[in-house]
């Protein structure tokens, strides 16, 4: 998260700014409620656009640059609405309210603490998605708006992502994969609930990035990627001494065994690719093919981070392994960015963990 330091803004100016934002917020709220009842009210569309534009201009006058880009993205959406390129829906209301809430919080923090935090990466993602919404066909816009909402405020999906995976509407295959993995996990005391744990984290990272990886495929890959480990000799799984060359070779073969499970299931070929690649590394030193960063799928990059984090924070058989505190594990993953792990997804991971740790501190 980036830090914005507020300087050279007098207290009375800050208070006037907050008062105006709150007043315009109320105006936006009235306009949004009216538009949800009748999306074709031109005067309400114009009023909402003017209010957002005014807030953006006010922030520009005091140099609060970090929020201007987000308000600009909302302006673009409202301009598309006025031009007939976008239909008004509750999803648009949600996106607008999120930006207004974040703007109010940003300015309030600057008044109270002289600084505020924001995510530059998240803002860039939100700007890109807002442009995609404007340019998309009408039937594509709702899905893109959902992605925009997730990019704007991942905390909205944080609790959902960390709850039991059973809340999702699993299709038959996904339930089947989960049941298979439950049996595999029963082979080792170190694997209990590992797949569900990893799935929660994988979905969380994906949502922080705006769900750029298909959730169904990622879910399948999470459940299946270590399936092949269940068919390794139990004494090898629980071995406490360093592995021999042949033993390491045997362990590496699990990616093929796992991916083979999906060989004849046409609907899960993307998941299969994630499974095959989840031990590849951006620097080309991974296995089984020695792929480099641009050749590795995003789903596989997520799995690599999730695997690493789980290994760092949970007990394992090898005596050289030390279970680390969460913040130490986050630091270790950051150290691996660009070599063993994707730099982009490590950044996403850090943002997700920072929000998660902050949520726990506040609860």
How far is residue 176's CA from residue 162's CA, in Å, rounded to a whole number?
Answer: 21
pLDDT of 305 over the 90 cut: yes
Q: Please, which pLDDT band fits residue 321 given cuts at 50, 70 and 90?
A: very low
Q: Please, which pLDDT band fits residue 167 given cuts at 50, 70 and 90?
A: very low
> How confident is the model at residue 195, as a pLDDT?
87
Residue of 76 and 319 predicted with greater confidence = 76
Q: If we measure between CA atoms, which residue out of 133, 169, 168 comes closest to residue 148?
A: 133
Domains (ranges, CATH) in the chain?
2-153 (1.20.120.160), 162-362 (1.10.3210.10)
Q: What are the E-state strand segments in the chain?
A: 2-5, 115-118
> How confident is the model at residue 324, as a pLDDT?
52
> How confident is the model at residue 359, as a pLDDT?
64
> How confident is the model at residue 349, as a pLDDT?
94
- Give the 3-state secondary structure of residue 233: coil
Q: What are the E-state strand segments in 43-187?
A: 115-118
Share of the chain above pLDDT 70, in %: 91
pLDDT of 52 over the 60 cut: yes
How far is residue 90's CA from residue 239's CA, in Å, rounded to a whole number?
Answer: 55
pLDDT of 25 over the 50 cut: yes
How far is residue 232's CA from residue 253's CA, in Å, rounded to a whole number?
Answer: 10
How far is residue 50's CA from residue 66's CA, in Å, rounded to a whole number?
Answer: 20
CB-facing half-sphere around the CA of 221: CA atoms within 13 A: 30
Q: Please, which pLDDT band fits residue 362 given cuts at 50, 70 and 90?
A: low
pLDDT of 322 over the 50 cut: no
pLDDT of 356 over the 90 cut: no
Q: Please, which pLDDT band fits residue 147 given cuts at 50, 70 and 90?
A: confident
Spatial contact of 104 and 52, defined as CB atoms under 8 Å apart = no
> How confident is the model at residue 316, as a pLDDT?
53
């Amino acid at each position: 998260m980036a830090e914005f330091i507020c300087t050279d803004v007098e207290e009375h100016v800050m208070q006037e700014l907050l008062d105006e934002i709150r007043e315009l917020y109320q105006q936006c709220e009235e306009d949004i409620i009216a538009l949800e009842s009748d999306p074709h009210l031109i005067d309400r569309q114009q009023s909402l656009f003017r209010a957002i534009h005014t807030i953006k201009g006010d922030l520009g006058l005091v140099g609060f640059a970090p929020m201007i880009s987000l308000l600009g993205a909302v302006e673009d959406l409202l301009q598309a609405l006025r031009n007939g390129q976008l239909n008004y829906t509750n999803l648009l209301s949600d996106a607008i309210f999120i930006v207004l809430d974040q703007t109010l919080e940003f300015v309030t923090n600057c008044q109270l603490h002289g600084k505020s935090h924001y995510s530059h990466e998240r803002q860039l993602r939100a700007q890109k998605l807002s442009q995609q919404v404007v340019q998309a066909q009408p039937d594509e816009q709702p899905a893109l708006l959902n992605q925009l909402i997730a990019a704007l405020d991942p905390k909205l999906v944080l609790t959902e992502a960390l709850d039991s995976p059973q809340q999702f509407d699993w299709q038959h295959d996904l339930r089947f994969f989960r049941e298979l993995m439950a049996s595999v996990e029963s082979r080792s005391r170190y694997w209990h609930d590992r797949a569900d744990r990893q799935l929660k984290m994988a979905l969380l990272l994906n949502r922080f990035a705006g769900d750029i990886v298909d959730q169904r495929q990622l879910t399948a890959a999470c459940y299946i990627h270590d399936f092949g480990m269940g068919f390794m000799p139990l004494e090898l799984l629980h071995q406490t001494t360093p592995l021999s060359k042949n033993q390491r070779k045997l362990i590496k073969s699990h990616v093929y065994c796992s991916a083979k499970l999906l060989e004849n299931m046409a609907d899960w070929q993307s998941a299969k690719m994630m499974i095959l690649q989840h031990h590849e590394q951006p620097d080309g030193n991974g296995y089984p093919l020695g792929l480099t960063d641009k050749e590795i799928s995003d789903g596989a990059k997520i799995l690599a981070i999730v695997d690493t984090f789980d290994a760092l924070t949970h007990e394992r058989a090898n005596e050289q392994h030390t279970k680390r505190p969460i913040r130490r594990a986050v630091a270790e993953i950051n150290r691996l960015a660009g070599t063993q792990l994707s730099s982009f997804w490590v950044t996403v991971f850090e943002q997700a963990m920072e929000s998660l740790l902050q949520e726990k501190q506040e609860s």
